[in-house]
A and B are shown apart, each in its own frame.
Chain A
């Protein structure tokens, strides 16, 4: 299989291969494997979260409550940093 890249992507790949001393093909293999893993992982996360709500296993948080929680968290974090 032959894969073509735009010049900027090719340049990045060449640079990474040079920096790491690893063959470009090996880097590409890792990248593709990682991509598939990420897609599968994300798909599982999204589907399971939807199923959680649909089945009633998990109680949703209302929009107002989420805003309040996030405001409180932000204030607490910033207070910690001072």
Chain B
């Protein structure tokens, strides 16, 4: 018994953290995860040592930080519940630009634009073969996507340089047909070029 349990989605939180850091160093990624787990473990004897953030939750949760990550947990539960481990600051891209929050990687990773079945445009960071996208051809898009609600305003060519204006949302299992609707753009990804994106006006 460790004295703490996790919401199942926290496994995805950890996966995002690990993947982001492991682009530079898998060892550093392992160490960061271990540090976060140690921080959680240290909460167990004194669970109310964390601080409240009533702007972030209406539930009896407390928060603590480790590195750039915010750990949200329920101190009154036994074992203590960890409900989220999330980035609390924009993740710096490899070229130094701020790209938003929550594990958004830099423009050197594949970026795709697709039109979802609701007709909206979505920008997505695709992790081929990873947890975010099933297989190279991908039967469906799942989980975290980068969404640019103001994409037409930003303009496609500028998206790579303006990801800070995008936000990451959990779309759940949004049904899309990636084979027919995905369009590629971005730099230095070396995957496969697609047709030019015809933006609505």
Query: In the complex the two chains form, what is the Cα distance from A79 to B14 in whole Å?
Result: 18
Interface string of B1-14 (1 = CB under 8 A from A): 11111111111001
Residues of B within 8 A of A (CB): 1-11, 14-15, 18-19, 22, 26, 29-30, 33, 37, 40-41, 55-61, 72, 74, 77, 79, 81, 83-84, 86, 101, 129, 150, 158, 162, 165, 167, 169-170
Mask: chain A, 25-65; 1 = CB below 8 Å from B; 0 = not: 00000100010011101110111011111000011111110
The CA-CA distance from A66 to B4 in the complex, in Å, is: 10
Distance between A55 CB and nearest chain B CB, rounded to angstroms: 12
From DSSP, what is the main secondary structure of chain B's interface residues?
A: mixed
Interface status of A6 (Cβ within 8 A of chain B): no
User: How close is B80's CB to chain A, nearest CB, in angstroms?
Assistant: 9
Give the interface SS of chain A, mostly helix, strand, loop or mixed.
helix
Could you write out 27 A-B pairs with CB less than 8 Å apart?
A30-B150, A34-B167, A39-B56, A42-B56, A43-B56, A43-B58, A45-B84, A46-B57, A46-B83, A49-B84, A50-B57, A50-B81, A53-B74, A53-B81, A53-B83, A58-B8, A59-B8, A60-B5, A61-B10, A62-B2, A63-B5, A63-B40, A66-B10, A74-B26, A74-B30, A77-B19, A81-B26
